[in-house]
Amino acid sequence: MALRFLDDPLYQLIRDEKIKEFNVQRASAESLDYHNCDFRGLDLRGLNANGINFSGCYFRAADLRGIDFSLSNLDGASLAAAQISGCYFPKSIDANEVFVSVEKGIRMRAR
């Protein structure tokens, strides 16, 4: 599966780590589908992730501290070496899935 780099203004704000601007502008978007997108090494702290489809995404070494992913789709996402302190994850993803993903880069499976 190839990672996607979207030509989408909101995705580009995330890629440029302009998280506050993304949060303001995303209010006008009905739904956001970033499945299989690349977020490697980015500082995403403060991101409003509610309802975003992050299935299959790659978050290697990203700073995700404090993000509430509880209403996001993370099925198949990889968190290899990501910083996840203070994150909330969907109830459909077991804590062991998160741990193994951070430690070994294995893609998380939702129940």
The CATH number for 75's domain is: 2.160.20
For residue 30, how many other CB atoms are within 10 A of its CB?
Answer: 5
HSE at residue 96, side-chain half, CA atoms within 13 A, is 1
pLDDT value for 94? 95
Rounded to whole angstroms, how far apart are CA atoms 79 and 53? 15
pLDDT value for 41? 97
pLDDT value for 28? 82
pLDDT value for 4? 84
Task: State the total domains in the chain.
Answer: 1
Rounded to whole angstroms, how far apart are CA atoms 75 and 57? 9
pLDDT value for 1? 67
Mean per-residue pLDDT pooled into runs of 10, the chain (111 residues): 86 97 91 95 97 97 98 97 97 96 96 88
Domain carrying residue 43: 1-111
pTM over 0.85: yes
- Residues whose CB falls within 8 Å of the CB of residue 16, separated by 6 or more in sequence, listed in order: none
